[in-house]
């Protein structure tokens, strides 16, 4: 009964953005309510409880939103009349993931920088893609600047634990000033690219609303733990809108049937990802910082190909 209610609620949220240009305000309202509810949870629960809740949400909606990349690639390749078959696409995808893991093992510093850049672009793209009219270097500049600004806002608000995790991954710590400088530079670039795009009418945004959202993120990141703050943004502000885009791209509509079809197609890849991550969590269950380091490394390995898939999908629709 509870599962059915949650499922119906999720479909209802997705249906609220069936027309992204007209009904996006409704989605933002739902997400804001969810954000403040999550913030309330951060106040009443201890960090350990937050960690478990965050893992549950990231392993469900978070991993799910990237578990159907192969199906998306197949449809995109078919639209482009490519001759690549499923096995070729699968092979390239697996090699890309394994290559990402290898880079993290051999050159962790480079891999970490690439993870921040790729994730930043991906977050910014999802946030602004429905508000931009064309794809250009200027829009790409806004995507990456805004996304990195959000990430550095999170890092700066949780500087100590972030530096400890970075040290676990690359072998040495970085000072808090790096987050502050990164936040300043990415913030300035966001303003510059945003101003240019508004000036030439290539983007339709409400600047005051965007500033308000950043204020909300600041409060969330300052109040919640690193992982819970990341989960709130990653799930509510990124994964759910992305899931809608993907389901609509594959099926042309949002309903119980299309969601179930998407879920079934994603299930094998989702299960493999979740099981692999749960093994890592179990092995490093007694060391929070080590488990978080492996968690973000794991996310990076599956993020790199996912970002490229979504970029290719979006380019085909502009």
Model confidence pLDDT, tens digit, residues 26-72: 777 888 899 999 888 888 888 788 888 888 888 888 888 888 888 88
Q: How far apart are CA 191 and CA 211, in angstroms?
A: 11
pLDDT in tens, 213-242: 999 999 999 988 899 999 999 999 999 989
Whole-model pTM? 0.84
Split at pLDDT 50, 70, 90, the class of 75 is: confident
Percent share of the chain, pLDDT over 70: 86
Check if the beta carbon of residue 153 is closer than 8 Å to that of residue 123: no
Residue with tokens 């192969």: 70
Domain boundaries, the chain: 2-129+204-315
pLDDT in tens, 125-146: 999 998 988 888 999 999 999 9
- Which residues, in sequence order, are CB contacts of 277 under 8 Å at separation 6+? 59, 63, 295, 298
Q: Of 112 and 288, which is predicted with more confidence?
A: 112
Residue 10: Cβ-neighbour burial (10 angstroms; 0-12, 13-18, 19+) = middle
Q: What is the mean pLDDT of the chain?
A: 83
> At residue 7, what are phi and psi to the nearest 5 degrees?
-65, -45
Structure tokens at 221: 């990141």
């Amino acid at each position: 009964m509870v599962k059915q209610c949650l499922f119906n609620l999720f479909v209802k949220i997705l249906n609220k953005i069936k027309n992204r240009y007209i009904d996006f305000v409704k989605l933002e309202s739902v997400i804001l309510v969810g954000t403040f509810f999550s913030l309330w949870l951060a106040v009443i629960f201890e960090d350990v409880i937050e960690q478990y809740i965050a893992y549950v949400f990231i392993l469900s909606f978070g991993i799910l939103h990237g578990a159907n990349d192969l199906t998306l690639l197949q449809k995109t390749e078919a639209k482009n009349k490519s001759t690549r078959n499923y096995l070729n696409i699968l092979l390239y995808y697996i090699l890309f993931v394994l290559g990402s893991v290898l880079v993290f093992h051999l050159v962790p510093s480079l891999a970490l920088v690439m993870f921040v850049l790729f994730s930043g672009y991906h977050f910014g793209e999802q946030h602004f893609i429905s508000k931009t009219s064309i794809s250009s270097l200027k829009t790409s500049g806004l995507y990456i600047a805004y996304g990195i600004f959000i990430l550095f806002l999170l890092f700066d608000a949780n500087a100590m634990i972030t530096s400890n995790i970075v040290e676990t991954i690359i072998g040495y710590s970085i000072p808090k000033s790096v987050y502050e400088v990164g936040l300043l530079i990415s913030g300035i670039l966001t303003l510059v690219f945003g101003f240019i795009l508004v000036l030439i009418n290539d983007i339709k945004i409400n600047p005051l609303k965007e500033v308000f959202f950043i204020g909300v993120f600041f409060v969330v990141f300052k109040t919640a733990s690193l992982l819970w703050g990341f989960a709130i943004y990653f799930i509510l502000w990124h994964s759910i809108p992305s899931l809608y885009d993907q389901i609509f791209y594959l099926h042309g509509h949002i309903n119980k049937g299309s969601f179930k079809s998407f879920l079934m197609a994603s299930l094998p890849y989702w299960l493999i990802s979740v099981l692999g991550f749960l093994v890592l969590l179990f092995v490093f269950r007694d060391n929070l910082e080590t488990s978080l380091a492996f968690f973000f490394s794991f996310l990076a390995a599956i993020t790199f190909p996912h970002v490229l898939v979504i970029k290719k999908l979006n380019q085909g629709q502009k």
